[in-house]
Structure 1
Amino acid sequence: MMQGSRKAKGKREVAREEQPQQHSPKGQAWFCTTGLPSDVVIEVGDMTFHLHKFPLMSKSKKIHDLIMNKESSLARHAGGGEEEEEDEGAGEIREEQVVLEADEEADAHRIRLPDFPGGAEAFELAAKFCYGVKLDLTPATAAPLRCAAERLGMSDDHAEDNLVSRADRFMSHTVLRNPRDAIRALKSCEDLLPLADDLGLVSRCVDAIAAKAAASTPTALFGWPINDAGAADRPRHKKNAGAGATSTLFDDLAGLSLATFTRVIAAMRERGVGPEVLEGALIAYAKRSIPGLSRSDRHTGGGGAAAAAAPRSADGDQKALLETVIVNLPEETIKSSAHTGTVVGATTARVLFGLLRTANILQASEASRDMLERRVASRLPDAAVDDLLIPSYSYLVETLYDVECVERIVRHFLEGRGGVEEVDEEGSEAETPGREASRRAMLAVGRLMDAYLGEIATDANLKTDKFCDLAWALPDGARVYDDGLYRAVDIYMIAFISFLVLFS
């Protein structure tokens, strides 16, 4: 079997039908020798391929027509001069240009293929296919090869079992049956637009991903929780290897461009994919694209394996990306408490607070910030004090932290609990699981707010009425003991008295 070699120097002879052949690039030139001089030179980008016309013509209708038209033109020109004017442009067909080599290889045709889909790598694989080399198709190369085959006219109408049908079969039977492979193929399509879209490759990959997501549970498909950057450094037991593998599907989706990712989310929504999966995918995408969304990123300067693997979006694109993520977050998860009190809930709360902090920095629209504050309020029981310490980025606010933002979040949280509290007062369903979950959430928020008040109490610019408003914002049932609140008041009084003594 004939094989290709990508070595810049040295030659390797591989027998095929008792005839030595060799494929190797020399600098920016790629040679195929079969004991015969090359009679066609094809330029793709900065790579020059020295090949033979008959293997190429047998598989590629485009190259067949180009060479046949050129040779017919040369034959007519050699037969008489009356068609000389017509032959002046005979070497140029559409965007390809065919000219006769004038130097050392006087009998060689030169074909230039500008803007070739997939570049020199895809053309090299297509050329090897013409010579009978067995193709090892992968999810990353299937779409570029399919587009290259379309450009070269390598259909079954020209030759039996040609590259178009080979690539299509691989896409249908292998790539589209596995969501991770479909995501890799979809990623490769981003450099092949609009041809990949015209051929239906993009829509087929998007539909395959959405269909798989709709048919699977979040745990089976994506895995939980959505790990932080440092999670990859923790050892995993072998029995959990399957869960660890599926959890990377969110990361695979996050590697797509914003336009492609939004298209996948829209397809998932049309297929009825659960809101928790949509929210998880959007949060993973935001974490990968926007720096500083988790405490681990902020404490390490955005370092870590995940940060190194994913290029950050430009500052000018982050606002649009952020608002797109916020708008696509499903409304159903605002009232959902499926993961409250779990690692997933804490991770989601941390990232949502990071989104809110970034929205304030980028001055996102008021509607986006309000939507995000309501969503953050639904995850408030899972938040940590560090999440609530949102710096104040406005010169109009005197306090170090954005206390008014936290006050709005607490108000949204209480509004969302209104229906449950009314049922509790009736007493008819006093022992229901819903009441117990609501009580635990309220107690968690009470402890959180007491700790938050203790952190902001040392701010000399924090007004007494604002401190009291936050302390009295929660109902009496939010605290079993008032020790945390007393501690916050003591800290505030000490700081306030020290401030008065200092400036008296």
Structure 2
Amino acid sequence: MAEACCDLEADINGEETFLVNKRIICSFSGRLSKLLGKSTGANRNKVIFHDFPGGAENFELIARFCYNNGEIDISPSNISLLYSAAEFMEMNGSVSRNCNLLGKTKRCIEEIGFWTWPDLLATLKHCQDFQQVATSSGILEKCLDSIVARLVITSEASPCASTSSPDSSGFRLSCDTRSTESLKSSFSRVNWWFEDLSVLSSDLIEMLVKSMVSRKYNHVIIGRVLLYYQKSKFFTATSDEKCKVLEVVIDMLDTLDPSCIPCKSLFGILRVVPGLNISKSSRSKLESMIGSQMDQATLDNLLIPSPYGASYLYDVNLVLRFLKAFLHGGGCRSSPTRMKKVASLMDLYITEVAPDPFLRSSKFLALVAALPDSARDRWDELYHAIDFYLKVHAGLSEEEKLKICCALNYEKLSSDACIHLSRNANFPSKSAVQALISQQSKLKNLLQGTKNTKLDTDSPCKFTQIRRKAKKDEGSEQTDLYSGKFDVPPDHENLRTHLQGMQGRVIELEKLCKKMQNQMARLMKSKVSTHGTARSLPRLCSCKNINLH
């Protein structure tokens, strides 16, 4: 430009100063025309813009448009810049019929449905820098809608070539065998476009996913997009950028069907969380998602190291929160099978953490009692875990041991476990008594269920009946059950065999029970003689008064 023609000085955001012809620029810009009036004299004027969209680079595009008498090549790579600048400079044709840059860009935006996939991506990238303007103008929304619409259309079709190619049309629905095989080696049928979207900002990914969800796009694929996006961004992102990405990914995953998100992938996200300062809300959402799929987890998933500074080995509190989320989500009501799988997993986990010498009894008890009684058909595994814990933590008080043992369901312990517990010095004596009583009750129920035998089947306690019958025998201290003599009809040989098998166990339990009764009696006498007044013993582990006879 000749110096004589450059009578307007334009300072653009402090980046660069342009010398332009005031008459030419004002003939296209309604904003400058208002600011400078109709004066086109030789006196040089100056304008300062602090918030010009796109900065100095975009002002240069506008200046070229004006000097070319309203002609410019509008492309997907500059349309958002031109539109935002045209709106800022009020280039809507109010001054000259040829200066309606705003109208030209709007017409191009209306044709966005015919753009190729690379063109759409280029526009999205530019919208990231001018998101506010792009949102208000509708460019961003139209671009996102077009991308999602094409993904929906082509979700069942294989693309023909990598979209990273500048020649790619993005959505060719038929292709030759060679190009198909080449594509399969680098992209799967459903994730060929994941890499293209990984260049977008977390804000745009959030908007894109919301649009996909509203259009009922496949939640499985959306989940894969988000997981791919998180991994790809983490290669170059700063700590703050990682926090933002992770929060967006977690928030968006939380809007999807939980069954569409692999539990393994959620634990993968969880592993990177400790090093980042993400929000409590996002942490809570991630834990809830994992908890809702607790039945899909493995023991290795749960063995998460404790937070920095904690003395205990594993993050027990985190696992307890998983269980709370699982129960809150109706895991026990919706599927008993899922509940039992979680119980089996927890038995393994409790056994694994039991040897930790720094694990407090309150936390161990919380793990043992976290699930309802109905979750387990048998409690043998949990009994062995408690046995292990009591061995390692031999210094626990009697009260602490009793609290832990009260969580046991003695009725669901096998006979072998009951006998083992009755002889186990690690357990309080009251627990041993409870185990014997539980086993005795099982024998009563067994005998009560016996049909067509010499016993009176209407008696409420067959075990007591046997003992009374033994006392009536002439000096005999054994019943038919003890001696192995059974009056059973010939067609009940299976019952005879079963009762004979119980013979030795009944005798052993009777002896142990009698021995325990004697110990309890001596303990009572000792307390009476020491304090001068009778005091009641604490309740047994079932928390009920139990008659030992």
Q: How many residues align?
A: 366
Aligned to 1:144: 81
Native 8 Å contact 2:76 2:119 kept in 1: yes
Aligned-residue offset at 1:266: 4.4
Residue in structure 1 matching 2:11, options 34, 43, 50: 43
Normalising to structure 1: TM-score of the pair? 0.54
* Equivalent pair of 1:220/1:246 in contact (CA under 8 Å): no
Q: Compute the displacement of 1:64 (Å).
A: 5.5
Distance change in 2, residues 1:487/1:280 (3 Å): farther
1:199 maps to 2:117? no
Counterpart pick for 2:280 among 357, 360, 364: 364
Q: Distance in 1 between matches of 2:110 and 2:36?
A: 33
Gaps in structure 2 of 5+ consecutive residues: 160-180, 397-549
Cα pair 1:349 1:380 within 8 Å, conserved: no
Q: CA deviation at 1:214?
A: 5.5
- Measure, in 2, the Cα distance between the counterparts of 1:164 and 1:237: 43
Q: Which has the higher strand share?
A: 1
Pair 152,498 (structure 1): closer, same or farther in 2 beyond 3 Å: same
Q: Please tell me whether residue 112 in structure 1 is matched to residue 48 in structure 2.
A: yes
Distance 1:376 1:136, change over 3 A: farther
Q: List aligned pairs for 1:302-381, cutoff 5 A.
A: 306-313=233-240, 322=247, 329-330=253-254, 333-334=257-258, 336=259, 338=260, 345-351=263-269, 364=280, 371-380=285-294
Distance 1:378 1:353, change over 3 A: farther
How far 1:147 moved relative to its partner? 0.9
Give deviations 1:53-111, integer Å, cap 9, x for gaps: 5654554444556566223xx69xxxxxxxxxxxxxxxxxxxxxxxx33xxxxxxx444
1:239 aligned residue (177, 184, 191):
184
Distance in 2 between the 1:449 and 1:118 partners?
A: 57
Output aligned runs, 1:471-490, within 5 Å: none
Report the CA distance shift for 1:148/1:177 in structure 2 as closer, same or farther (over 3 A): same
Structure 1: 5+ residue stretches without partners: 1-31, 76-99, 102-108, 222-235, 289-304, 423-437, 500-504
Larger CA Rg, structure 1 vs 2: 2
Distance 1:141 1:400, change over 3 A: farther
- Superposition map of 1:419-438 within 5 A: 419-421=334-336
CA shift for structure 1 position 330: 4.7
Per the alignment, residue 429 of structure 1 pairs with none
SS in 1 for 2:10: strand
Match of 1:406 in 2: 319
Higher RCO (C-alpha under 8 Å, 6+ residues apart): 1
Change (3 A) 1:139 1:310: farther
Of all paired residues, the percent bearing the same amino acid is 25
The answer to whether the Cα contact below 8 Å between 1:179 and 1:208 also exists between their aligned partners in 2 is no
Tell me which of 276, 296, 302 is aligned to 1:388: 302
* 1:456 pairs with one of 316, 341, 353: 353
Query: What is the CA-CA distance between 1:477 and the residue it aligns to?
Result: 8.6
AA at the equivalent of 1:416: G
| 1:326-349 deviation per Cα after TM superposition (whole angstroms, max 9, x unaligned) | 665456623x2x56xxxx552244
CA deviations 1:254-285 (Å, max 9, x no partner) are x133xx65555544444334444555566567
In the other structure, the counterpart of 2:331 is: 416
Query: How far did residue 389 of structure 1 move?
Result: 3.6
CA 1:256–1:467: 2 relative to 1, 3 Å: closer
Match of residue 248 from structure 1: 195
Distance 2:138 2:221 in 1: 26
User: Is the alpha carbon distance of 1:473 and 1:144 closer, same or farther for their aligned partners in structure 2, counting shifts above 3 Å?
Assistant: farther
Aligned to 2:172: none
Q: Does the CA contact (< 8 Å) of 1:42 and 1:111 recur in 2?
A: yes
Paired AA for residue 81 in structure 2 = P
In 2: Cα distance, 1:496 partner to 1:180 partner: 65
CA spacing shift, 1:118–1:391, aligned 2, 3 Å: same
Structure 2 distance, partners of 1:489, 1:120, is 72
What letter matches 1:145 in structure 2? L
Structural RMSD (CA)? 5.3
Q: CA separation of 1:391/1:265 partners in 2, compared to 1, >3 Å: closer, same or farther?
A: same
CA shift, 1:448, in A, is 6.0
Aligned match of 1:13: none
- d(CA) in 2 for partners of 1:161 and 1:150? 12
Residues 184 and 252 of structure 1 are in contact (CA less than 8 Å); yes or no, is this contact kept in structure 2?
no
Q: Could you state the TM-score of these two structures normalised by the residue count of structure 2?
A: 0.50
